[in-house]
Chains A and B, each alone.
Chain A
Amino acid sequence: SQQGEEDPQALSIQEGENATMNCSYKTSINNLQWYRQNSGRGLVHLILIRSNEREKHSGRLRVTLDTSKKSSSLLITASRAADTASYFCATDNPGGGADGLTFGKGTHLIIQP
């Protein structure tokens, strides 16, 4: 089953603008990660935020986490054509030794040149 739900499902913006994607999840987590997937390729890890963190930055990426609302957002600033991809949030399972990830359905981001 899908744990996270990204919003919006698709987003098209002009190059140079900021892109914001949201993710909601259902159960408690220890960590939340964001991944990028270019068309026909594997997933690339972008950033991990722990449940005791509220905000994290990495280059042009800014991630926030609100555990009370079970939601996270990914902000990409000064977007570039190369940012065109699908973006997924993924959560862990704090229940046991397994650490396979549960992914949302993703946001498809298109950067118009």
Chain B
Amino acid sequence: EAGVAQSPRYKIIEKRQSVAFWCNPISGHATLYWYQQILGQGPKLLIQFQNNGVVDDSQLPKDRFSAERLKGVDSTLKIQPAKLEDSAVYLCASSSVRLRQFFGPGTRLTVL
């Protein structure tokens, strides 16, 4: 079974630039999550989708972050404009069964 795919794996941008991350969940998984993991900390949930609807985005900084999952499969997470403190690993996870999440390898973002 193919795992959760994410791209790019690494991204370096200047502050105030825009960036987008892509996630392809495991086939058939209706639920998709985006987490932000700052160096030395555990992942923090940014947004949860159920199919193409948002279940929880309470911790998403909506002034600069946006996410969509238009067809209920792939998802993109965008940051515009980026700040230095956005440097982190962005993890995508998917699940078909409640509380059983499968994580992708993550995208490491460095904002200079």
Residues of A that sit less than 8 Å from B by CB: 2, 4, 31, 33, 40-45, 48, 88, 90, 92, 97-106
Contact = CB atoms under 8 A, between A and B. Distances in A.
Contact of A98 (B4, B40, B55, B103): B55
B22 to A, nearest CB: 15
B71 interface: no
A43 B6 CA distance: 13
Q: Could you say which of A41, A42, A103 has the most chain B C-beta atoms within 10 Å of its C-beta?
A: A42
- The secondary structure that dominates the B interface is strand
A102 B48 CA distance: 13
Contacts of A2: 41-42, 44
A76 B38 CA distance: 26
B104 interface: yes
Interface string B48-92: 101000011000000000000000000000000000000000010
Nearest to A30: B99
Interface of B: 4, 31, 33, 35, 40-45, 48, 50, 55-56, 91, 93, 95, 98-106, 108
Contacts of A48: 99-100
Q: Could you say which of A4, A41, A45, A98 has the most chain B C-beta atoms within 10 Å of its C-beta?
A: A98
B27 to A, nearest CB: 17
Given A2-B41, A43-B91, A104-B42, A99 B48 contact: yes
Contacts of A31: 99
Given A40-B108, A43-B103, A100-B48, 12 more contacts: A2-B44, A31-B99, A41-B105, A43-B93, A48-B100, A92-B99, A98-B48, A100-B35, A100-B45, A100-B56, A106-B41, A106-B42
